[in-house]
Amino acid sequence: MEKITRFGVSIEPDLLEKFDSMMKKKGYSNRSEAIRDMIREHLIIEHVKDPCAEVIGTLTMVYDHHAGPLVDRLLQIQHDHYQEILTTTHIHIDHNTCLEVLVLRGETQNIQTLADSIKAIKGIKHGELVVTQRSL
Amino acid sequence: MEKITRFGVSIEPDLLEKFDSMMKKKGYSNRSEAIRDMIREHLIIEHVKDPCAEVIGTLTMVYDHHAGPLVDRLLQIQHDHYQEILTTTHIHIDHNTCLEVLVLRGETQNIQTLADSIKAIKGIKHGELVVTQRSL
Amino acid sequence: MEKITRFGVSIEPDLLEKFDSMMKKKGYSNRSEAIRDMIREHLIIEHVKDPCAEVIGTLTMVYDHHAGPLVDRLLQIQHDHYQEILTTTHIHIDHNTCLEVLVLRGETQNIQTLADSIKAIKGIKHGELVVTQRSL
Amino acid sequence: MEKITRFGVSIEPDLLEKFDSMMKKKGYSNRSEAIRDMIREHLIIEHVKDPCAEVIGTLTMVYDHHAGPLVDRLLQIQHDHYQEILTTTHIHIDHNTCLEVLVLRGETQNIQTLADSIKAIKGIKHGELVVTQRSL
């Protein structure tokens, strides 16, 4: 079991009230949990600024699978980077549109470059990368 | 086949030069493709501001599967929202850490609320939502 | 004097350690202050999502004052919105380049529209809006 | 007078239509101007990622001038960094609340550190930094 420590926060009563109300709106039942999540979020934002940090990323992309040699290009680039791509999830959104989510692992800068080069493929209509940390 | 139209852009030569160099760095071989991607990105940002827009989302989250009743809570909430959750991908990052990616579909505001309530579960260490459009 | 209340946060020791180290890096000498600032930041992000919220904004823009009728357009649009523009600061960055910062006050949606219409003026090279809350 | 060059963009008609409609909504009367602004925005985002880039920043902050030694601390830190702070604009928002906007100039990393240390002062309720480029 993990050990738990405690610290106290002094705060203006009306700021605490607003925090409690936002917390509830977001579905938290526990102040400590909400504070810990805010802390983790800030740590991640700082961490992933370092281009050499080891991170996990997910690249979400939308494309039309009829778009010429797109699927071949995509497969090739994914195989060239098989060590950084942990898995691929593919959803058939409608007759033409595919959603694909890649889970990536590596240094921030490599993950970013890989995501950029995939997003640049002709036919990829939108791509967005989320980067997070493995251990928090 | 899709029909293609053309329009001209007038631009200062040194701005174009900088654009070409950024484009190359990002892996684009074609100016039109880079411009189209920028346009789509801006359209998506505008579109998803509308709380009633129909969108696709991916929620990336990191958690420790040992964390008490987390896995049960997560399963339950996912079943309660089976109509909005298209698929779930689970990666075993290390002995303790799980990465899970949910693909969501629905109105922006519902997707946002669902993501918030999942992120608020005790034990979810980080959650980040990407929202995109189905057709672009 | 403002009244102060206190609450306790339970947290894993290594997460607290990382938080303390980030806090120090950012120049905080006091945990409560860092936590309060995180809370306020999150409240502001939620608050300004409401298009009818009363907010304060600053629009930072860069332009070349030689760019034809730009200065006239800018003056005119500012006078048309004198009730929303509290003040303008102008810096001569170099021989050609101006930096101008407008402080705006009004509903989020109006501030946003005003900022968009200024950014769209031919010759404005970059414009970025920050929106914050009056009372926190 | 600046020299102007031209290039053509090939695009799907319905994507162009959506772009024209967003452009109009944002107040642009000219497609080239809208495209140039998107290009500049992307270049700035890339540029300011470099910690050693020379940038211009504006720090917007909200505080209560009654908050103990805040005003002294703020003045001292500003004088310690007089070479990076080009100007300060102060607005009396209401009886208690001040809005202050600093225009900063220097390397991204120094500007960021200075902004962090100001935001960390007890009594600063919110601070947000916008970073832009001098020449575009």
**pLDDT tens for residues A13-71?**
999 999 999 999 999 999 999 999 999 999 998 888 888 899 999 999 999 888 778 88
- In this model, does residue B68 exceed pLDDT 60? yes
Q: Is A54 helix (H, G, I), strand (E, B) or coil?
A: strand
- In this model, does residue D51 exceed pLDDT 90? no
Strands in chain B per DSSP E:
5-11, 54-64, 85-92, 97-107, 124-132
Say whether residue B13 is in contact with chain A using an 8 A CB cutoff. no
Q: CB–CB of A116/A33 below 8 Å?
A: no
Q: Which chain A residues contact residue C16 at CB under 8 A?
A: 5, 7
- In this model, does residue C96 exceed pLDDT 90? no
Domain with CATH 3.30.70.1150 in chain B: 54-132
User: pLDDT digits over D75-98, tens only?
Assistant: 899 899 988 999 999 998 888 889
B38 → closest Cβ in D10, D13, D42:
D42
Higher-confidence residue of D104 and A1: namely D104
| Count of residues in chain D | 136
Continuous segment of H or E residues that includes residue A125: strand A124-132
Residue spans of alpha helices (H) in chain A: 13-25, 31-47, 70-80, 108-119
- In this model, does residue C136 exceed pLDDT 80? no
Q: How far apart are CA B58 and CA C59, in angstroms?
A: 32
The two tokens of residue D19 are 């772009």
User: pLDDT digits over A71-98, tens only?
Assistant: 888 989 989 998 899 999 999 888 888 9
**Average of per-residue pLDDT across B84-89:** 92
Q: Which chain D residues contact residue B133 at CB under 8 A?
A: none
Closest B-chain CA to D18: B43
Give the pLDDT band (50/70/90) at residue B136: low
CATH number (3.30.70.20, 3.40.1280.10, 3.40.50.970, 1.10.1220.10) of D13-47 reads: 1.10.1220.10
What pLDDT does residue B134 have? 74
ipTM here: 0.84
Say yes or no for a CB contact (<8 Å) between A87 and B89.
Answer: yes
What pLDDT does residue B2 have? 65
Q: How many CB atoms lie within 10 A of CB B81?
A: 18
For chains A and C, CB pairs below 8 A equal 100
Tell me if the domain spanning D54-132 has CATH number 3.30.70.1150: yes
What pLDDT does residue D127 have? 93
- In this model, does residue D131 exceed pLDDT 80? yes
What pLDDT does residue C50 have? 85
- In this model, does residue C121 exceed pLDDT 60? yes
Q: How many CB atoms lie within 10 A of CB C75?
A: 11
Domain with CATH 1.10.1220.10 in chain D: 13-47
What pLDDT does residue B101 have? 94
